[in-house]
Amino acid sequence: MFVRTSGGTTVAHRPGTLNVSVFDAWTDDGRDVRKSFEGFCRRLVAVLRSAGIDADLGWVPFSHCDGRFNLAVAGRKIGGTASLVRRRGTTIAMLAHASIWIEGDVTVDLQAVERFERDMGLGVAYDRRAHASICDVVTMPEARAVR
């Protein structure tokens, strides 16, 4: 088990999951760190849309590790994002990360997450229908981006 300091809850990593990380550092110029993180997330959405997948950012009720910067398609979570920000003097640094389900059985991942979180004493109630891999959503007509 590894604990990440970038926030969020339990995430399964396995073949079929794409992990994307970006590091950025800048001299404090008043830039809104949240906007920088949102820019990272919006770039991911743009890449998915360029591949014909109608992705967006937002909450997905009953999904695990739910957050306003989920990567979602047709109301289903296909990926999560997180960031870690540190300041040293006038330098701000941000590590932004995303885990995106490309293929594989998302249900198996959710079962593992639920087992682990229950063992940790957490109450969990995730809806498997709130989650999908990209391979799952490409067959859904409502998931195709308008070109």
Compute CA distances 22 → 38, 66, 84, 133, whole Å: 12, 21, 11, 22
- H-helix or E-strand spanning residue 75: none
Compute CA distances 105 → 9, 57, 114, whole Å: 20, 22, 15
Residue pointed to by tokens 């067959």 = 139
Annotated active-site residue in 11, 55, 60, 65: 65
State yes or no: is 41 an active-site residue. no
End-to-end CA distance of the chain: 42
Q: Which of 121, 136, 131 is nearest to 65 (CA)?
A: 131
**Which amino acids are annotated catalytic?**
65
